[in-house]
Structure 1
Amino acid sequence: MTTGPAQPTDPGGDGDREAHRPLVVHRASDAPRAAVLLLHGGRADGRTPPPRLNLPALRMRPFGSALSRPPRGRELLLASVRYRCRGWNGPQADAARDARRALDELAALAAGVPVVLVGHSMGGRAALRTGGHPTVRGIVALAPWCPSDEPVAHLRDRTVVLLHDARDRITDAEGSRLFADRARDSGARAHAVTMPRGGHTMLRGARQWHRLTVELVAAILDGAPLRLPADGKIPG
């Protein structure tokens, strides 16, 4: 996964975990009709907190800005997950644990509001892992990390779209395709989409990534058909 200089050792401990608040609300309305939860990338392993200058988190800001534009932005609660650790950390799955707690907090804050998860890289894996939460209507996973043994049964009846550039050298686009196949076999409305450029950072062709993500989130929340090419490849 990605980024940044080493940080001081995390104090750790159950009490420290209890004090951590994983939900960060960026934009809210008095009566939101939907919510989007952003999950940025990280590392396979890393028990220290994300650095103050957190490049994976910065990478998600343009997606948040695009999602906040009118008209839907006026009725959208936009939030993100603050990770306690910068890594997934094997069976601990720390990013997924934080994502579940953030979803619980979001459900308490905006009861009955449907949620779409938008996650990149490790955050894409966390979104896919927690997509069975009762508030979640769908997931847009951006260049996600999809190991071959990642569970899928909990995604039944969810809409799941995985966007990946085949030239990504950090996470595996073929892994996304295989994940979508397995999720579809388990009853999810799952799609793997090949992006024409962007690599892992999604910097080249960034507007296309932002625009498609906004369109997918809107369609999932509206229960509308997804406008995707029949061959699953977005033209360049």
Structure 2
Amino acid sequence: MAQHAPPARGARLGRAAGANGSVSTVSGVVLLLPGASRWSPGPVRPLARALARAGGTDGLVTHHVIHGGGASREEEAGWAADEAVRRYGDVPVCLAGFGAGGLAALRAAGHTAVNSVLALAPCLEEPGTADPPEPVRQLSGRQVLFVHGTNDAHSDPESSFRLAARAKKANRSTCRFEVHSDGHRLREHQAEVVALSVDFVMGAVFSGRYSRPVTDALAAPPPLGLRMPLASGFGRSLRG
């Protein structure tokens, strides 16, 4: 049974994509959480299209979570997971977010329907000496993937590495890939980032099987599994 998130005034789910939007055919849901600005969606839109192509026949449906401004993004993510359960029943939910949406996905991972989290260039703030560290206990029992560009000037990639290292201690099913020379929006290697994300989501939501790089990253001890380089041509190598 889902936990009930606080009301997310103004938030809503975008149109369903994949699985024809038919409730009877849905066996997994991806909730896409955008960044702080609609003008900076990062790889979320191409990821939505790729997931619809890759998972539609398996019953995967995706929804963008439309930010309403009346609640925190974390609350909106929790509300969206509740709404997914209301619409589709007891199916696994993946929270996939970029930037501020990546942080919201991580924070809302404790929802009982969530089985996996994809955090693309999550926007993290280093806590002050009197501030508590970013929580990680809610990630326990979930499949978790961080992806971050090494040249991200907007969100420090080392902050996501440190958070991933703490998360790995609470949850072995955590890995992190570094996109060398790419910035916050992950534009330079967008095709590889999308292919990696699709591989992770399909494995986490359905089969439990991943490509060899993701399998190795999940199995490797820190720091190796948290600094995995995303190889050029990742998607092409899988298709080949």
Is TM (by shorter chain) over 0.5?
yes
Correspondence 1:135 to 2:113: yes
- Which of the residues 66, 83, 87 maps onto 1:105? 83
How many residues are treated as equivalent by the alignment? 203
Report the equivalent of 1:160. Answer: 144
Note the 1:1-236 alignment, pairs <5 A.
20-27=10-17, 28-29=21-22, 30-42=24-36, 54-57=38-41, 59-70=43-54, 72-74=55-57, 75-85=59-69, 94-148=72-126, 149-221=133-205, 222-225=207-210, 227-228=212-213, 231=224, 232-236=228-232
- TM-score, with structure 2 as normaliser: 0.78
- CA distance, structure 1, for counterparts of residue 75 and residue 9 of structure 2: 14
Q: In 2 relative to 1, CA 226–189 (structure 1 residues): closer, same or farther, beyond 3 Å?
A: farther
Question: Structure 2: 5+ residue runs without aligned partners?
Answer: 1-6, 127-132, 218-223, 233-240
- Tell me by how many angstroms 1:226 deviates: 5.6
Cα distance change of structure 1 residues 186 and 18 upon mapping to structure 2, 3 Å threshold: closer
The alignment yields a C-alpha RMSD, in angstroms, of 2.1
Q: Runs (4+) of structure 1 moved beyond 6 Å?
A: none
Supply the distance in 2 between the matched residues of 1:58 and 1:213 (Cα, whole angstroms). Answer: 13
Higher helix share: 2
Percent identity between matched residues is 29
SS where residue 55 of structure 1 aligns?
A: coil
- 5+ residue gaps, structure 1, are 1-16, 43-49, 87-91
Write the distance in 2 (CA, Å) between the matches of 1:225 and 1:60.
21
In the alignment, the residues of structure 1 paired with residue 101 and residue 170 of structure 2 have an alpha-carbon distance, to the nearest angstrom, of 22
Contact residue 139 and residue 161 of structure 1 kept, 8 A: yes
TM-score (ref. length: structure 1): 0.79
